[in-house]
């Protein structure tokens, strides 16, 4: 019997959340954000990535204020694909699937694939691992959000100024015409039209998890 992808993902989120996310740790307010991507894109997060993120949520539980939503970054995918997902743990669904950059140090040939990862200052590379979302601020890229690395692979993120921000080099038209988006200096950069929604959905005290 062929499994329905929507039901499988929803069951995975709901079952895992029931084990590690008590109701007292969940936000009572749900954000009603327009879903402007087709269903197959919104449900593109694969269970293995999700399971790793939920394990990280449990492992670093003392750091998180909220467990209602988490951010997932699948660096195994090409930058021309939607590989960033906001998962609604309470509702068992993917709220957003978006384009996101990786660092130029992770992709020196500008192929669109992240093949190297580094935690070293000056590497301009992306880092895998668990991040705690921090305060919002307005910087040279406009509205942004600070990140704190929680793993050995990314614990220099705050010192390296690895943040969430919008960028003109992350653009859907560019992805369609060139097959990829631009590279950051290691930050998680999003389309300028989407950064407001990302900052709202991933407010402070939540998990952003990246893996390849």
> For 185-212, what is the mean pLDDT?
98
Q: Kindly report, residue by residue over 47-100, the tens digit of the pLDDT.
A: 789 999 999 999 999 999 999 999 999 999 999 999 999 999 988 899 999 999
d(C-alpha 65, C-alpha 61), whole Å: 8
User: Which range is least confidently modeled, 6-10, 39-43, 73-77, 90-94?
Assistant: 39-43
User: Residue 128 falls within a domain, yes or no?
Assistant: yes
Say if 29 falls within a structural domain.
no
> In this structure, what CATH number is given to the domain that contains residue 92?
2.40.440.10
Give a yes or no: residue 138 inside a domain: yes
Tokens 């699937």 sit on residue? 97
* Alpha carbon distances (Å) from 118 to 99, 108, 154: 21, 13, 8
pLDDT tens track for 124-170:
999 999 999 999 999 999 999 999 999 999 999 999 999 999 999 99
Tokens of 163: 């943040």
User: Considering the domain boundaries, does residue 31 fall inside one?
Assistant: no
Q: Is 185 inside any structural domain?
A: yes
The pLDDT-based confidence of 201 (bands split at 50, 70, 90) is: very high
* Domain assignment of residue 190, given as a range: 5-23+36-211
In a domain, 30, yes or no: no
In the beta sheet, which residues pair with residue 84?
A: 73, 98
Q: How many structural domains compose the chain?
A: 1
Report the chain's mean pLDDT, rounded to a whole number.
84
């Amino acid at each position: 019997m062929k499994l329905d992808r929507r039901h499988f993902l929803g069951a995975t989120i709901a079952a895992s959340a029931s084990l590690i996310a008590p109701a007292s740790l969940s936000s009572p307010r749900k954000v009603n954000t327009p879903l402007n991507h087709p269903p197959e894109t919104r449900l593109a997060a694969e269970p293995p990535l999700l399971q790793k993120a939920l394990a990280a949520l449990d492992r670093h539980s003392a750091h998180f204020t909220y467990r209602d939503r988490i951010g997932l970054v699948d660096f195994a995918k090409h930058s021309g694909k939607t590989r960033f997902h906001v998962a609604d743990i309470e509702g068992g669904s993917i709220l957003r699937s978006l384009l996101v950059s990786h660092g130029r140090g992770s992709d020196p040939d500008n192929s669109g694939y992240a093949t190297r990862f580094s935690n070293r200052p000056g590497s301009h590379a992306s880092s895998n691992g668990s991040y705690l979302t921090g305060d919002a601020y307005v910087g040279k890229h406009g509205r942004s959000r600070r990140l704190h690395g929680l793993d050995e692979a990314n614990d220099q993120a705050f010192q390296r100024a690895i943040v969430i921000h919008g960028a003109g080099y992350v653009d859907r038209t560019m992805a369609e015409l060139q097959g990829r988006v631009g590279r950051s200096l290691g930050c998680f950069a999003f389309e300028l039209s989407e950064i407001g929604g990302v900052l709202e959905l991933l407010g402070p005290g939540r998990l952003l998890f990246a893996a390849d």
